[in-house]
Amino acid sequence: MARGGAPQDRYHLVGISFFILGLGTLLPWNFFITAIPYFQQRLAEVNHTAGNLSTNNTTTTDPYNFNNWLTLLSQLPLLLFTLLNSFLYQCIPESVRILGSLLAIFLLFALTAALVKVDMSPGPFFSITMASVWFINSFSAVLQGSLFGQLGTMPSTYSTLFLSGQGLAGIFAALTMVMSMASGVDAQTSALGYFVTPCVGILVSIICYLSLPHLEFARYYLAKKPSQTPVQELETKAELLQADEKNGIPSSPQKPALALDLDPEREPEPESDEPQKPEKPSVFVVLRKIWLVALCLALVFTVTLSVFPAITAMVTSTTGPGKWSEFFTPICCFLLFNIMDWLGRSLTSYFLWPDEDSRLLPLLVCLRFLFVPLFMLCRVPGLLQQDAYFITFMLLFAISNGYLVSLTMCLAPRQVLPHEREVAGALMTFFLALGLSCGAALSFLLKELI
């Protein structure tokens, strides 16, 4: 809800800017995983020239375990910076973190695009690419955390737009790959065009961020207001508390003391000399309340990252050589996953089932472990090695990932008191990063079992 007297977001420019910034935060990860066949071919080829983006003959060999290392080195920075964010964010100004991260990501992606034209042996190419992956995702973690901090001062609609941009990043990357492959140009030009696209996307994100200080709506919400008086601060807290009660969220049982008595002739009561504030929330108390949904969130991402994309990108079509076989992985693996994941996340806007008190939630989360052997069996001849099986599994796998991730993130704040929600959000972010890292590490073991 907008504050009283707030300016209008003319032409929705601020909303569009945050949508594009959300898209930019996840472009690096999605463009790298979607291009796994290109990297595998570069590492497998004898002549070491740039490979095609197609998956026709490249998914069966992975001498460097590229997809496993890509997944692991993409998620470890997220876990690391989740642990270090409180120190890092206090030392470096917000604008430096955001602009510096965007510029660094742009330069590293430009390096990745330039390597398409460079004749290089597999060893150095692998090392340079893995170093780029680590640093790109480190800067992306800083960028994402900093932008979420800015969104905390904005109306909730802008957080939704930002998350929508993130959700469409994977679809954008998969569509870019399909169009690059279908363009009819030679393999090297196709790969170059693919990696130049996120460079343009990051440049547009930089322009959007630089434009925010020039937009009155953004200035109103993002400007620091250290001169805010205690009366104004308490009025803001009272409004938030009333909004929570209207939405059916119970307020803290502690005395809020949000109403100020400004009558100078009235004798102050001993307990009313100054407003009482809720005690600083304890991490362990909050964790005790949300541990189940936090564990469910971690397990959802553990299952997802253990097989996607390390195992799923290895599955090939059984129809034989042809156009469908060439486009099978980018469409049925990456594009299908991202569309259904986005759809699953959108479903929580209409209903939240099961609720936080139901035992069905951990049961549904545990049932997703069945996808691990199912996708592995898609690689075994004569069992589930049919395109229809893989597509069906991917549909259920992706939509359940999106829905359960969004569901757990929605349920966590409902299990704590209003003043504990910030701590709950930080804990859920940590468990999210923990699940991603555990899944990436587990993918090495599963790869060896195939």
Q: By C-alpha distance, which of 349, 343, 374 is closest to 170?
A: 343
Q: Which of 302, 303, 307, 313 is CA-nearest to residue 335?
A: 313
The residue written with tokens 């996840």 in the block is 26
**Is 251:241 a contact under the CB 8 Å cutoff?**
yes
pLDDT digits (tens, 9 = 90+) for 39-59: 988 888 544 444 556 544 444
Q: What is the mean pLDDT of residues 61-89?
A: 82
In the prediction, which pLDDT does 327 show? 92
Average pLDDT in the chain: 82
Q: With a cut of 60, say whether residue 225 has pLDDT above it.
A: no
d(CA 295, CA 304): 14
222-227 mean pLDDT:
56
Section 256-281 average pLDDT: 49
More confident residue, 209 or 358: 209
**Per-residue pLDDT for 74 more than 60?**
yes
Mean pLDDT of 361-374: 96
Q: pLDDT tens-digit profile of 144-172?
A: 888 888 887 888 788 888 888 888 999 99
How high is the pLDDT of residue 231? 37
The CA distance from 302 to 322, in Å, is 34
Name the residue among 36, 56, 53, 54 with its Cα closest to residue 317.
56
Q: What is the pLDDT of residues 288-345, one digit of tens each?
A: 999 999 999 999 999 999 999 999 999 999 887 888 988 999 999 999 999 999 999 8
Identify the band that residue 62 occupies on the pLDDT scale cut at 50, 70 and 90.
low
Per-residue pLDDT, 246: 37
- Is the peptide bond between 28 and the residue preceding it cis, with omega within 30 degrees of 0? no
pLDDT of 1:
42
Q: What is the mean pLDDT of residues 361-379?
A: 95
Band (251; pLDDT cuts 50, 70, 90): very low
Task: Check pLDDT > 50 for residue 25.
Answer: yes
**Quick one: pLDDT at residue 52?**
57
pLDDT > 90 fraction of the chain, expressed in percent and rounded: 48
Q: How far apart are CA 95 and CA 101, in angstroms?
A: 10
